[in-house]
Amino acid sequence: MIESRDGRRVVVTGVGVVAPCGTGAEEFWAGLARPAEPAVVRRVPDFEPEQWGLARTDCRRLDRFAQFAIAAAGQALADAGLLPAPDVAGALSGTDSERAGVLIGTGIGGSLSWERQALIREEKGDRAVSPLTVPLVMPNAAAAAASMRWDLRGPCETVVSACATGTHAVAGAARWIAAGRADLVVAGAAEATLTPTNLAGYSNMRALSQSGISRPFDVDRDGFCVAEGAAVVVLEEAGHAAARGARVYAEVAGAASTADAHHLTAPEPTGRGALACMRLALADAGVPPGEVTHVNAHGTSTRLNDEIEARALRELFGEPGPAVTSIKGVTGHAQGAAGAIEVVSVALTYAQRELPPTMGTRKVDPAFGIDVVLEPRPWQPSPVISNSFGFGGHNGTLVFLPAA
């Protein structure tokens, strides 16, 4: 990365995920190629926090979004060889706690707890409200819980930037490592906002699919399917990872963030913010556009978002450009967690040497001029970009390279 100090490189050494299509890397990857049942609301099925080492007292103190984050983080740390199992708490092996950080974001935070306590107050009065309400709903609850659970005493922060949150969290963590602030960071995002009030708000915005089918870049796309979930990756300085013999999925080579400065929910119609973000990220990584072979797209299945993203991709790469995949056809749109879930997808794409399909899409909009992957496709590891674009005009792009 251009901002690197002393040539410090950043690599992904562990992944964890909680998603509607599967929890854990193996189930998640298999789920990406499995058609999803039509559902405008995509929940994580059969999530049991006790399975991830969370005691009953832990669950009373952690909203569902933070429980998801701890489950995903435990998976990632175990996958990286830093814990004996995902449900184990305690200090990490082979790592200085003072040099290990946490950057776990969320788009909204503990809205389930907030809505529940608001109803309790309405029905039973002020004295019935839990004294844990504020720590349950605060957006930094997941990051704080992870730092305490695994004695991570380096930088510990939270980023909140709507649907770009997960991408921004991974980017920020990579910059900590590149700048020498940490040797290892647990990074990602979590979201669990499927409350009656939030769902009514999404519905009244007319952003949701009427068919319950997410069709990214399809000529018949009709809106997104709202989801919950979490994903966390372990990022390490390359020398730190090599010294302990860690397996490396990929290198985080570049990142960028821009703003549309246009509208609270709609993307800027020319795609200039998305285009600038991708160009800056590629410049940060020192990667020419012609070397990119895969784009993990934001691809929400909304009329405007897909059109604007396709326009920016076409201007940057030409036609047809790199292979484009959106996994939201299966996962739905997990809002603040979406970008982090897609980072796990990218890491597994490198491991599997295969591009996942854009499920739900039948006929790509002919006006787009991009190469949308509709069936699993063999792939030779090479540069990848991953995009996230959020409400408020937040844009985020990450650039990945194959493990050296």
Query: CA 352 to CA 354: how far, in whole Å?
Result: 5
Q: Which of 163, 168, 240, 394 is catalytic?
A: 163
Query: CA 235 to CA 160: how far, in whole Å?
Result: 20
Phi-psi region of 51 (alpha: psi -120 to 50; beta: other; left: phi over 0): alpha
Q: Which of 168, 240, 294, 333 is catalytic?
A: 333
Q: How many residues does the chain have?
A: 404
Contacts of residue 69, Cβ cutoff 8 Å, sequence gap at least 6: 104, 142, 143, 145, 146, 188, 189, 190, 230, 232
H-run or E-run covering 81: none
Tokens of 309: 């993203």
Query: CA 356 to CA 390: how far, in whole Å?
Result: 23
Write down the residue that tokens 């396709």 correspond to: 310
Known active-site residue 298? yes
- Kindly list the distances between the CA atom of residue 97 and the CA atoms of 83, 92, 156, 183, in Å, as whole numbers in the listed order: 14, 8, 12, 10
Query: CA 335 to CA 226: how far, in whole Å?
Result: 8
Write down the residue that tokens 């484009």 correspond to: 324
Cα-to-chain-centroid distance, residue 270? 25
Q: How many CB atoms lie within 10 A of CB 118?
A: 14
Q: How many CB atoms lie within 10 A of CB 61?
A: 16
Known active-site residue 163? yes
Contact 221, 302 (CB under 8 A): yes
Contact 365, 274 (CB under 8 A): no
Query: CA 90 to CA 357: how far, in whole Å?
Result: 38
Residue 289 exposed, middle or buried by CB count within 10 Å (0-12, 13-18, 19+): middle
Tokens of 115: 């809505």
DSSP conformation class of 208:
B
Q: Which of 240, 294, 298, 394 is catalytic?
A: 298
Query: CA 62 to CA 141: how far, in whole Å?
Result: 7
Query: CA 170 to CA 251: how far, in whole Å?
Result: 12
Task: Cite the active site residues.
Answer: 163, 298, 333
